[in-house]
Amino acid sequence: MTISTAQTRQGITDALTGIHPNVTIYTGTVPETVPSWGTHIKPYIGLWVTTSSDDPFARAVSGLADVDAVRISVQTQIVAADEVGVYQLADLVRELLTNRRIGTGVILPDTFQQENAYILTDTSVIPSRPYLPLMWTIETQ
């Protein structure tokens, strides 16, 4: 049995809901204006989920696309008013998502990406927002 993109998005949203009383979860689109405390934005998590694809390792073995084993890529974008807040929220996200089961899938961190992820700053909005993109993979067997 496979897992759908919608199930994945809902499962991750459910896992992250309540991570902190002041954190909002946005799926697919982050509004131009987000909640704030005075001049500081409240922390939020942006969530983007790809459509599923077959497992390339299963294809290498059989030469065919395996419809029962899928891989879904997920990006979480951790945003807060300052770098300390970004790191604190990222630690909570990692704790909640790593090895979490959603249906028949397991969420795994994209180790290489996360080892090399650094806080960036979105200066196209006011106030500017530090953020940390973290990639994940969900695989089913």
Q: What is the CATH number of the domain that holds 38?
A: 3.30.2000.10
Note the pLDDT tens digit of each residue in 116-126.
Answer: 999 999 999 88
Q: Name the pLDDT band for 65 (thresholds 50, 70, 90).
A: low
| pLDDT average, residue stretch 44-61 | 74
Burial of 38 (0-12, 13-18, 19+ CB in 10 A): exposed
* pTM of the model as a whole: 0.85
Higher pLDDT, 5 or 76: 76
Quote the crossing angle between the two packed helices 83-97 and 5-16, to the nearest 10°.
Answer: 120
Number of domains present in the structure of the chain? 1
Higher pLDDT, 3 or 113: 113
Owning domain of residue 39 = 5-140
Note the pLDDT tens digit of each residue in 88-118.
Answer: 999 999 999 999 999 888 999 999 999 999 9
